[in-house]
Amino acid sequence: MNATTPPSSGKQLELLVEQFFHNFRQGTLANAEANSTSSLEAFMEATSTELIETGFVEGFEHCHYRARRGMRVDGYWFNDEGAIDIFVADFDCRRQLERLTHAEATAAFKRAANFFEASLEGTLMPDVTTPEYSLVQQIAARRSVLRQVNFYLTSEREFSTRNQSFPDGNVGGVRSAYHVWDMARFQRQHSSRGRKEPLNIDFIELFGHGISCLPANLGSDTYISYLTVMPATILAALYDKFSARLLEQNVRTFLQARAQVNKGIRGTIINEPQMFFAYNNGITATAQEVETSLSAGGLQLVRITDLQIVNGGQTTASLFHTQRRDKADLSQVFVQMKLSVVDSEQSEIIVPRISEYANTQNRVNAADFFSNHPYHLRMADFSRRIWAPAQQGAQRETKWFYERARGQYSDEQLKLLSGEQKLFVLEYPKSQMFTKTDLAKFENVFDEHPRWVNLGSQKNFARYALRIGKEWERSSDHFNEWYFKRAIARNIIFRATEKLVSAQSWYNGGYRANIVAYTLSMLSEIVKRRSSALDFLRIWNTQAVDESLLETIVVIASAVHADITKPPAGISNISEWCKKDGCWNRLVAQVDRISEDLPNYFWELLESAEDNKHEVRTAKQTQKIDNGIEAQRRVLSVPPQQWSLLLREGTNRCLFGPRDLALLRVAIQIPAKVPNETQSAALLKLLSKSQEVGIL
């Protein structure tokens, strides 16, 4: 027995996993009932969401197929890198946590592999009206460009094998990789308090040698750095193997179309490979731990724990794609890399800053730095203090919990005693917790092109972040209590629509996400064309969607379903059709016809555009006042000596103009003299500027 390990730790871990299993099971059953879906579909929704949130996959499409010939698939996703993720479930709604054997996992992977191989060969012909037909056709159509198939086994059991890895293989001439996500692995991910499973690189194992490096001793206790010259062949190979996981801390991963190759980089690789090092700015990376060894040639990096490229994602992707598409020789191409080693406790603070500052040459909007942006902080503040009206038949008011950083909902409960946890759940029901990606989905279907939602959570959030960042810069007052209540109302409509679609006689179990997105976008378009607005405050006040609106949504959803399931000739995959502009354009052309079929009482539910504008203007004015008061409060909380230091250093370094210096002379007189709201806002900007240049 290891002396450093308490004897009871193994048993404690078993209890943790078992408790997690029961909580996960109850959540799955509750979601299945709430959304009128099968428990299998709810299980796949929960597990795929976890994989998307942790960066292992980009998206997920439901597609349940089971054949007697030893084939099964429960979902899939095509990414932009010539790869397909195929999901297979080990799920039987078990009441107790059981063991999944290695043989059972192998058999599950075999069934998924059989499906993929039969699809490649064209020997599988499902019913043309089903989602699996579209998947089979799409696999066959992409055969020439598919480079990788990733099989994901998501299990409600605990894998009994200590080593959970399966060796890479080959299915139908396509490289294959296998990933088991059992209850123990999901539990570990949850207990990591929101941090993602680290990406570990062993250069000796992967490439047979280490990477020469130079230590950069900066005299800092926070982190150490290394400088190295990375062979492009190794960077391309790492991107080929790990793709988005290699770049997950780089916010531009979400904003750029990674399949697109930078023309300048491509030209240099092909025409002047020996000059790439001189022309390229290099890449910036971080790691939690680094292992080095001293060889005859000097110091070498041999292992890196949680390698993340935070700047240079486009360079890395372009190397991979130019090698793959143009058959370019990368043997003469080298890239400089700065690697900062930041421990796990500091990574959540320091890594985003490294990414932000490293990307200043191609400025990324501040909203793309996710959870710490003021927009998310304000939305979280609203969610913690605004009580939602009690639903019909209930006496107790509740709140909607906005999870701006992954794992917050669970973390908040871990701080509480058992009785306090029960009160917390009563105040913030699990069904009223929503994340940043949820919010982006609810908002974009009403305000943006519906195809963004169908492109997957990451791309949809990227679009949302870009739009919100610009709007925040123009006027942060727009994001007020009315905005928050409207977002919740849209949330309620979205979830009600999901449940409605599942209950329709014409719904055969496929494309619900596509139908819901286009239905609500069409609803928004119809209302706009009438110069009207949905009465979102009415929905907020009742915390429900009234029958008249539900009946209207059913009519629109039926029309949407009938249209999107009949893509034009040459397009067999309905999900892919829903990602194209043509799908929306064809539907929009039918707005007038669909509007004629809506019940007359629907129009009575709408409020005039002028009334809506009045509500928005009033809410903005209130928020502006609140912002001013908050600015004054923050200014008054700053120690007086900081204002004195700022005035002195700013004057000595010539950092500020006469107007700024005059403001600081007011600030040093606090509390004898109190800056007004406008002055306080300006002082906060000076405070932020001083922190950037290192005065404070």
Per residue in 501-549, pLDDT (tens digit) is 988 999 887 788 899 999 999 999 999 998 888 999 999 999 999 999 9
Cα 306 to Cα 199: distance, rounded to the nearest angstrom = 4
Angle ∠(421,426,431) on CA atoms, nearest 5: 105
Least confident piece of the model among 453-457, 511-515, 690-694: 690-694
Which pTM was predicted?
Answer: 0.71
Give the mean pLDDT of 47-63.
Answer: 85
Predicted pLDDT at 249: 47
Residue 310 has pLDDT above 50, yes or no: yes
Helices (H), 637-676: 640-652, 658-667
Cα 565 to Cα 600: distance, rounded to the nearest angstrom = 28
Residue 296 has pLDDT above 70, yes or no: yes
Give the mean pLDDT of 13-37.
Answer: 83
Predicted pLDDT at 691: 67
CB 496, CB 545: distance < 8 Å = yes
Predicted pLDDT at 5: 40
Helices (H), 371-476: 374-385, 408-414, 418-427, 436-447, 451-454, 457-474
Calculate the average pLDDT of the chain: 83
Cα 293 to Cα 301: distance, rounded to the nearest angstrom = 7
CA quadruple 15, 17, 21, 23: dihedral sign: positive
Task: Between 695 and 291, name the one with better pLDDT.
Answer: 291
Task: Between 297 and 383, name the one with better pLDDT.
Answer: 383
Reduced to 3 states (helix: H, G, I; strand: E, B; else coil), residue 363 is coil
Reduced to 3 states (helix: H, G, I; strand: E, B; else coil), residue 262 is coil
Host H or E run for residue 287: strand 283-287
Q: What is the largest CA-CA distance in the chain?
A: 84
Tens-digit pLDDT profile for residues 127-176? 766 778 888 888 988 888 899 999 999 999 999 876 667 888 999 999 99
Q: How does strand 401-403 pair with strand 223-231? A: unpaired
Task: Between 356 and 183, name the one with better pLDDT.
Answer: 183
Strand residues in 518-659 grouped as ranges (E): 532-533, 607-608
| Both structure tokens of 555 | 């009519």
Least confident piece of the model among 283-292, 473-482, 652-661: 652-661
For helices 131-141 and 102-121, what crossing angle results, to 10°?
A: 70
Cα–Cα nearest to 436, from 512, 386, 379, 384: 379
Residue 6 has pLDDT above 60, yes or no: no
Grade residue 2 by pLDDT with cuts at 50, 70 and 90. Answer: very low
The partner residues of 177 in beta bridges, in order of sequence, read 150
Residue 586: half-sphere exposure toward Cβ, Cα within 13 Å: 18
Q: Which amino acid is at 346?
A: Q
Reduced to 3 states (helix: H, G, I; strand: E, B; else coil), residue 402 is strand
Tens-digit pLDDT profile for residues 598-607? 998 898 888 8
**Which residues are CB-neighbours of 694 under 8 A, at least 6 positions away?**
none
Grade residue 217 by pLDDT with cuts at 50, 70 and 90. Answer: low
Cα–Cα nearest to 332, from 400, 431, 233, 203: 233
Predicted pLDDT at 632: 75
Predicted pLDDT at 613: 62
Q: What is each CA distance from 189 to 15, 180, 506, 690, in whole angstroms?
A: 16, 13, 38, 38
Phi, psi (rounded to 5 degrees) for 89: -100, 140
Grade residue 257 by pLDDT with cuts at 50, 70 and 90. Answer: very low
CB 149, CB 83: distance < 8 Å = yes
Residue 4 has pLDDT above 70, yes or no: no
Cα 84 to Cα 116: distance, rounded to the nearest angstrom = 10
Task: Between 199 and 592, name the one with better pLDDT.
Answer: 592
Cα 289 to Cα 684: distance, rounded to the nearest angstrom = 37
Give the mean pLDDT of 77-81.
Answer: 83
Phi, psi (rounded to 5 degrees) for 98: -120, 175
Reduced to 3 states (helix: H, G, I; strand: E, B; else coil), residue 198 is coil
Q: Which amino acid is at 660?
A: D
Predicted pLDDT at 371: 64
Strand residues in 195-271 grouped as ranges (E): 200-202, 211-216, 223-231
Angle ∠(667,672,676) on CA atoms, nearest 5: 55
Q: Which amino acid is at 219?
A: G
Predicted pLDDT at 256: 39
The position carrying tokens 């609500």 is: 520
CB 338, CB 358: distance < 8 Å = no
Grade residue 209 by pLDDT with cuts at 50, 70 and 90. Answer: very high
Cα 696 to Cα 691: distance, rounded to the nearest angstrom = 5
For helices 547-564 and 481-503, what crossing angle results, to 10°?
A: 60
Predicted pLDDT at 605: 82
Predicted pLDDT at 107: 95
CB 398, CB 429: distance < 8 Å = yes
- Give the highest mean pLDDT range of 178-182, 190-194, 306-310: 178-182
Residue 584 has pLDDT above 60, yes or no: yes
